Amino acid sequence: MKRRLLIRDLIGKYDCGCFVDPLNPEETGKTIQKMLNNPDQTKLQGINGYQAVLKEYNWESEREKLISYYTKTLSLN
């Protein structure tokens, strides 16, 4: 459940896609049709996702978080 919330938050924060219930084929189909009917919006969402990866979700930005986590964890022992 937490993973779904994280993905939903990410999609909302960056407007980089759509969130559908994968077990609901009708909802999935409607969402795909909406994306096909709105190619400019779909393209913009793709660009937004790409920009999110370049700016925030990449090794350079995550490296410091990981190093900080390991430093704190190892300091506790």
**Radius of gyration of the chain from its Cα atoms, rounded to whole angstroms:** 17
pTM, 2 dp: 0.71
Residue 7, pLDDT score = 85
DSSP letters of 8-35?
HHHHHHHT------TT-HHHHHHHHHHH
Q: What is the pLDDT of residue 35?
A: 97
pLDDT value at position 11? 92
Per-residue confidence (pLDDT) for residue 42, from 0 to 100: 97
Query: pLDDT digit of tens for each residue in the chain (77 aa)?
Result: 566 668 888 899 999 999 899 899 999 999 999 999 999 999 999 999 999 999 988 888 888 888 999 999 988 65
**Whether the Cβ atoms of residue 33 and residue 39 lie closer than 8 Å to each other:** no
